[in-house]
Amino acid sequence: MAITQNLHSALFRLLLLNKARLIWADAICINQEDTEERSSQARLMKDIYQLASSVIIWLGGPIEVNSKDIWPITPLLEAAQQNLKRTELPIRHGTKD
């Protein structure tokens, strides 16, 4: 199965070498090309998250600034409060900004 680089990065980071882990990845578990399925699953997400023993949200890997990886959480939180779309997020991947 072909997956995106972002999902590959998430799965790689979540891998536990000494322990099995059950992971639900929307990109795999929900048919992304079926609008009706995506919509019906989205309506269930509140229940799914409430019943989960733990939830990890992958926002993507770090960006590089001055040869150091940083995780720009503050701009993402501010963007979430403003209800920005993914394409409007204040992050430019692949740059040193």
Domain that holds residue 49: 1-58
* pLDDT confidence of residue 37: 92
Query: 3-state class of 77 per DSSP?
Result: helix
Domain count, the chain: 2
Please tell me the predicted confidence (pLDDT) of residue 72: 59
Q: Are residues 80 and 94 in the same domain?
A: yes
pLDDT score, position 40:
92
Shared domain check, 47 and 6: yes
The encoded tokens of residue 65 equal 């600034």
Residues 9 and 46 occupy one common structural domain: yes
31 and 3 in a common domain: yes
Query: Tell me, what's the pLDDT at 81?
Result: 77
Global pTM value: 0.53
**Domain match, 91 and 52 both:** no
Residue 91: the pLDDT is: 57
Within 8 A by CB and 6+ apart from 3, the residues are 11, 27, 28
Residues of the chain with pLDDT under 50: 95-97
**4 and 48, same domain (yes or no):** yes
Regarding whether 77 and 43 lie in a shared domain, the answer is no
pLDDT for 33 equals 87
